[in-house]
Amino acid sequence: MNADLQRLTELEKIDREASRLTEEVAGLPKRVAAIEAKLAEHKAAVEKAKARIKGNETTRRQMEADIKGFQEKIAKYRSQSSSVKTNDEYRALMHEVEFAEKQISGCEDKILDLMIGLENEEKALKVAEAELKTESADVEKEKADARVRTAEDEKLLAGLKEQRETIRSTVNDSALAHYDRVMRQRKSALAEAREQKCMACFVRVRPQTWQEIRTNEQIITCNSCGRILYFDPANEAAAPEPAKKKSKARAAEVETEPDQAEQEITPTQ
């Protein structure tokens, strides 16, 4: 294989791995932020449960104060009843007593409801607090993992950068400039040529060019996408050309082999 072609193949592998690692490093703070947002939700759930319990207690104290108020009124009406002159006045007072007793009974019913509600609210608080505790531990672990992963990735990236510089210093300048240009535009700079086609853009190469590519002895670029083409004999052996067995009509109808179509359904360009 042509030495520059060999080196560019290695360079592309390094560049791809470096960009994968760079993306991963950039994505980790986002992952941590997402976990922290989830933690904030759990904290909010705990606060909400606490606020419900507090509200319950406030309402209950209010009810108790109301009951006390009505009891005082009843006592007052009863003491007044001993000094009333007419039956009508007496009935009116008894009517007030009855009303106050109904109010007390209503308050007592509400207090009972609040007590039942409080039990459930306390249970909900316990669940929310347990979830928060678990989630907090998870967040700390995830954060620690993210820190470790970032440090590892950065170490790998530093190593790749060194390898990259070493390879680049040995490649012919114009081949390297072409590589950089295509890499920038298309996110990949090399493409395998198989069955007389560029496997990145699927455009056919001329028969003479194909013969040249098969030797891997020159830097040859795809006329359509600009990628540097290389030939891999292993893939030719793995996928023998069955085109001769097919009728012309069928060959015209189906551009790519069915098995090949399955493997190469995502052209990069």
Site stretch for Zn ion (CB under 5 A), options 124-132, 176-184, 194-202, 256-264 = 194-202
**Cβ–Cβ < 8 Å for 203, 159:** no
Q: Residues in contact with Zn ion, total (CB under 5 A)?
A: 6
SS3 assignment, position 222? coil
Smallest separation, CB 193 to Zn ion (Å): 9
Residue 224 binds Zn ion (CB under 5 A) = yes
Residue 223 binds Zn ion (CB under 5 A) = no
Smallest separation, CB 212 to Zn ion (Å): 15
Residue 228 binds Zn ion (CB under 5 A) = no
CA-CA distances (angstroms) from residue 261 to 91, 175, 231, 233? 98, 31, 19, 19
Residue 196 binds Zn ion (CB under 5 A) = no
- Exposed / middle / buried, residue 151 (Cβ in 10 Å: 0-12, 13-18, 19+): exposed
Residues with Cβ < 8 Å from 40, sequence gap 6 or more? none
Residue 132 binds Zn ion (CB under 5 A) = no
Take residue 64 and report the two structure tokens written for it: 């108790």
Neighbours of 80 (CB within 10 A): 14
Nearer to Zn ion, 189 or 198 (CB): 198
Residue type, 42: H
Q: Which residue has the tokens 């590892």?
A: 152
Residue of the chain from 107, 189, 198, 213 that contacts Zn ion (CB under 5 A): 198
Nearer to Zn ion, 25 or 229 (CB): 229
Nearer to Zn ion, 13 or 186 (CB): 186
Residues that bind Zn ion (CB under 5 A): 198, 200-201, 222, 224-225
